[in-house]
Amino acid sequence: MLEDLIPVNIVIGDRSYRLKIEPKDEELVRKIIKLINDRILEFKTNFAGKDMQDYIAMALIWFATEQSRAGSELIAYQEISEKLAAMEAMVERGMEGK
């Protein structure tokens, strides 16, 4: 519910933003913002002469790609788990027939 949200101030690149988030998400949000800002600093170091908007865009594309990859790995893990469970059930049924 909206009344349960807490206000937090975050900084991405050189801009400050005020968000309202659930209290349980505060630590995660702060860790993600730190990760993004660290990546922005890394891009700033490696790609001199760009503006802050370019660094932010690079960092957010990197972050979205990492999240997509993690999601794909989770889906693959779930599919493998389901196949292993099905194989295990087949083996157990085969053992029962003996």
- Residue 41: strand, helix, or coil: helix
> 50 Cβ partners below 8 Å, 6+ apart?
43, 44
- Residues 64-72 have a mean pLDDT of 79
pLDDT at 77 over 70: no
Strand partners, 10: 17
Q: For residue 27, what is the enclosing H or E element?
A: helix 26-46
What pTM value is reported for the model? 0.66
Compute the distance between CA of residue 81 and CA of residue 49 in angstroms, rounded to an integer: 48
